[in-house]
Amino acid sequence: MTTTTSSTFRIGGDLEVGRLGFGAMHLPTEPGDAREAAVAVARRAVELGVTLIDTAYMYGGGANEELLAEALYPYADGLLVTTKIGLERSESSGEWELNGRPEVLRAQVDKALRRLRMERIELLQLHRIDPATPLADQLGALRDLRDEGKVGRIGLSEVTVDELDRARQIVDIASVQNRYNLLDREHEPVLAACEAAGIAFLPWRTVAWGTSGDRAEIAAVAAELDATPTQVVLAWLLGHSPVMLPIPGTARVAHLEENVAAGGLRLSSGQRVRLDGLSKPG
């Protein structure tokens, strides 16, 4: 017996994407051969059928968004490029800091639209909730941008169950992007809340290794399936919840192709039980 799940998910109930996406954070943006290779990776992702690509203003201060536009514009039908806002560089330290003030969020959306060459960002995620700004002000600004047509759907990142509940009282939430993988399930309660509400859950840091014993178990399952350990942990994610939309990232075409192939890997019920038993390493 094998575990089977749908290969697609409707974000916000209507925006259909393939469940195995691509995280663009690792793509180099500096001029030269590395940038050309990054463009090739983004284009190959679309060729392979990836329809969900994740970026953020924080990734190079918008340079990652510009790279994706260079590589993919005009965008293929059905391709969703989602971005995140709510962080800005400190002028004094150069470090990234939370800033959820409405005027900052609005300005970041306008700049993202120009960099991505879009008229509307179909899924916009708040990179982090800013504790120094009332949540109602942050999400109210995003709701206004949605009502103006600049944003299609609103998501959150790195939130707790309580924060998600409070946010949903202010505006519809279409997605949550939290750190999560086979060996790090700290946000399992958030995943459960998303599943109950039909909210897309986009795990980042989808692959992480633990103790040698954990690695041995994953490697054993990989050998049984003639797959790689990375493919096994991605397949586990896809089978763990129907709202799970992993976004593994890479700067290499070969690794991208390996990740995408994980979408066709099926774990038996026994293999899944063995992997379910692995816990976050201490």
Tell me the catalytic residues. 59
d(CA 197, CA 33): 44
Provide the H-helix boundaries in 117-160: 135-147
The residues, any chain, with a CB within 8 Å of residue 169's CB and separated by 6 or more, are none
| 91, two tokens | 């002028």
In angstroms, the Cα distances linking 40 to 66, 82, 208 are: 14, 19, 26
How many CB atoms are closer than 10 A to CB 148? 11
Q: Look at residues 228, 225, 191 and name the one whose alpha carbon lies nearest to residue 207.
A: 228
Please state the φ and ψ torsions of residue 138, each to the nearest 5 degrees: -65, -50
DSSP string, 225-238: HT--HHHHHHHHHH
In angstroms, the Cα distances linking 30 to 4, 36, 60 are: 41, 9, 10
d(CA 272, CA 17): 25
Span between the terminal Cα atoms of the chain, in Å: 32
Pairing of strands 52-54, 200-201: unpaired
| 145, two tokens | 């941008």
Please state the φ and ψ torsions of residue 276, each to the nearest 5 degrees: -60, -30
